[in-house]
């Protein structure tokens, strides 16, 4: 089965984040992070140490509270 580019497929977000911020004292771990991962997608975090990968995952799992969220 093939899908033409003209057909629209309804996609539901599995994860949707907009304007996420996290500070630890004066250190800004996340500044205005926005991302969307749709159902069925495979998503990976790549980056240097201190880039905010673990902090983001911990907030998604409710292990950390965000400093603020822009809506």
- Region of 34 (left: φ > 0; alpha: ψ -120 to 50; beta: rest) is beta
pTM: 0.74
Q: Which residues contact 28 (CB under 8 A, 6 or more apart)?
A: 21, 22
pLDDT at 1: 46
pLDDT, averaged across the chain: 85
Residue 16 CA: distances (Å) to CA of 3, 24, 36: 26, 23, 4
Dihedral sign for Cα atoms in the order 10, 11, 13, 19: negative
- What is the predicted pLDDT for the residue at 10? 61
What is the mean pLDDT of the segment spanning 28-39? Answer: 92
Max Cα distance, the chain (Å): 54
Mean pLDDT value of segment 41-63:
92
Least confident residue range of 6-10, 29-33, 34-38: 6-10
Q: Taking the domains of the chain in order of start, what are their residue ranges? A: 13-69
Q: Does the pLDDT of residue 9 top 80, yes or no?
A: no
Instruction: Find where tokens 């990968």 sit.
Output: 53
């Amino acid at each position: 089965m093939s899908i033409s580019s003209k057909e629209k497929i309804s996609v539901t977000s599995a994860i949707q984040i907009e304007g996420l911020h996290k500070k630890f004292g004066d250190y800004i771990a996340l500044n205005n992070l926005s991302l969307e991962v749709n159902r069925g997608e495979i998503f990976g975090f790549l980056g240097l140490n201190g880039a905010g990968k673990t902090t983001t995952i911990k907030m998604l799992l409710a292990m950390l509270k965000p400093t603020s969220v822009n809506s």
